[in-house]
Structure 1
Amino acid sequence: MPLTRKAYRAAILHSIADPAEVGIEASYEYFEDGLLVVDNGQISALGHASDLLPKLPADIEITHYQDALITPGFIDTHIHLPQTGMVGAYGEQLLDWLNTYTFPCESQFADKAHADEVADIFIKELLRNGTTTALVFGSVHPQSVNSFFEAAQQLDLRMIAGKVMMDRNAPDYLTDTAESSYLESKALIERWHGKGRLHYAVTPRFAPTSTPEQLTLAGQLLTEYPDLYMQTHISENLKEIEWVKELFPERKGYLDVYDHYQLLGERSVFAHGVHLCDDECARLAETGSAISFCPTSNFFLGSGLFNLPMAEKHKLNVGLGTDVGGGTSFSLLQTLNEAYKVMQLQGARLSPFKSLYLATLGGARALRLEDKIGNLQPGTDADFLVLDYNATPLLGYRLKQANNIAEALFVLMTLGDDRTVLQTYAAGNLVHQR
């Protein structure tokens, strides 16, 4: 295979650490006139253009962007493929919303043609919004995961997904059994996990829709395949928490249900965590588990405000999730716009550099993939974005007033959306062009 080497010149910014741990100034690298060199789908050099240009071969192809910023690809740590067709559904909180909108929408994924069509739309939306890696819920049907992975594999994307396990408290047309969910998940793991840049996640929907037998088998899968992911929901809504107490009276609390069935661990990601207590945050951190912070969805479904400072206190890994269809946008820029407001309502601040961290390196750390994605260090996968400073007239005008990269970054996160993403690259390949 011929060596493919290309270089990209623009302003370049990436996170190298969590601002909560090292302070803002030590958390990022910024090159006002930077150069990113890509060899065979991986980043081979990053630095000031003036330093790197003299070392490059004369015939290398260099793409030069004016009024643009290169960042790592965004990482969405919680999103639902089968809810694409019901995003923006009116008027309910979590439990009624599931029954009214979600379950009927997910039932359509028994049909392969439908699953293929939605997988194509879903991946195009991710890439249009600059999301290069996502942790994805399928439906209860194995077909949803097959369709998604087939589409992702064609573009050599780094994606993680799993078939929902759900054997009670859902419509008959949408439930599996403890045994069938185990066998179907196992078949999907054998087919897809570790194939190219794809990974499998064991996916019990949430404690109320799984019997103890099913949760036991979910834990067993994690034991049988040690590098699998696990994804589920936790402490999103107060009525949901009460329901879990009724269903599992013998357990100390919501997290303890998952803990009892051995579902906590270094590749376990729990969505929402809006109503976690200190002890639960400490236990999540102790086991290396992560939380996906989903501000847009938490506002839209009236769930509450995630306590990011408490998570930081416990050094708990936190990524960002759009939670489409509870969330109303595939855009992590728009999600950060909402995250800022969540913090404001709690009398706390979210700096633009912490926001960048959550959308990139923080998500990679939550997924234990920081050696491959989430930053632009040499040796990592060439998953990156080109953000256009002139994407809209207002954005272009507003950015001309920005005095530094911190201000520019914050403006991108408050005024930016899918239009801001000029190009998306995955493994060095151009996979979206506005």
Structure 2
Amino acid sequence: MAVDWLLQQWFPALTQRPCVKIACDGLSAIEMAFEDRTLSPTDAQCDLVSSIREAISRSSVSWSPRHVYGHLDKSKLFGEFTWWEKKNLEVDGMAVDFRKELEAAHQLIPSNPRFFTELAALFVAGTKQSRLSDQFIQECVTLPHLRQQWRNHNVISEEAENLIDWETLGRAMRSLPAGLQRWITKHWVGMCGTGKFKVYWGLKSSAACPRCGEFKDHLHVPRYPAASARDEWDQRVTAPSLWMDMHLTSPAIKHAILLLLQGVRDPSRHTSCLISWTIRPAFLAQEAIGCQGLLEGRLASLWLSLQQNYFDKIHSRRSVSLWASRLSQQLISIGFYIWEQRNAVQHSDDNVQLRERHCAVNEGIYSQFDMGSADLPPDIRHMLTCRHSVLRKSLVDKEEWLKLLRQERKAYRRSLRAQRRSLRTIFSAPPS
């Protein structure tokens, strides 16, 4: 538009169409602005690119774009620069100065107004969107209801939501296998195959824990007090501890994370007094999120700045965002393996409900042997030959054995009674 204005002011009678060269150190920006491909509303910076294309189409001059390499001042002397490279360095300096002015005025993220050549714009809650994002639209539709569910079920408070590093959690979740993603999503809301929901679904009549008999929901699984569960917990916590050592985690952060993990097993523990003042804000933020949140990958955002300071101190160039996302995955794996151990016990003989079933079926087997085989059909009387061999069978086999004998004994008795009634009828009938 500025070029068109200059043409009108200086060369109003010009008949030829002039050509203007334009350069940019962003190759993708040049390609997006001048290529013939149809622009999609989901493309990055769709609003700006579409505005540039519209301005180009309205312009009375032709444009010749070119790419110029940026940041050459780190590898070349200024005297070796071309004219384009010098101008690019000059513009970069102006951009840095402008950014510093915005920082000083606390306006680093200015408003995104509608451009004068922008044909259409989408505003959400007064903020213009640079492109159509499926994720953003999904959040607009589902997040209000989800937040309400979090509050109703005491999953995530409003304070905790503002403290969680959601970007880190999202990166960690995307790196997990699909099955583990579904598992952790269900555990976030407690909708998993524990006693509480099995009663709700009508699969069981009691919500008691199969190992200790107490009320069981998803929070009970990592807190189960038995020695086997405690040993499994200690073993699983060792893995993230070693991982933190291998990935140069700050010793203070490691100490704090391990203390918070102890709070999962014992929520009544108060350990903030054992934390140094430098990381206490992050520790308290994680406590506000909840110790259980660690097993679900919810890390406080304050950990990242502390770990970045430690990386700077030891002159490490590691990515703190990658460190955080992988730590989140390590913590999620603790809860998953504890759940797997719970499943192993659930389907073994070492739980309260199965022990009760064993006792009941064993008593039934003893009673069947005590009653003898006289009122059983002759073809199955061999099933009462050895009591010990029957008792050594699996629970399911014993239940089937007991069910069969009870049915056959009942049916045989019924047939004998019918035979007796027939005989009585025959022999007690009066002579004709």
Band of TM-score, shorter chain: under 0.3
Name the structure where strand makes up a greater proportion of residues. 1
TM-score norm. by structure 1 comes to 0.22
TM-score norm. by structure 2 comes to 0.22
Name the structure where helix makes up a greater proportion of residues. 2
**Larger RCO (alpha carbons 8 Å, 6+ apart):** 1
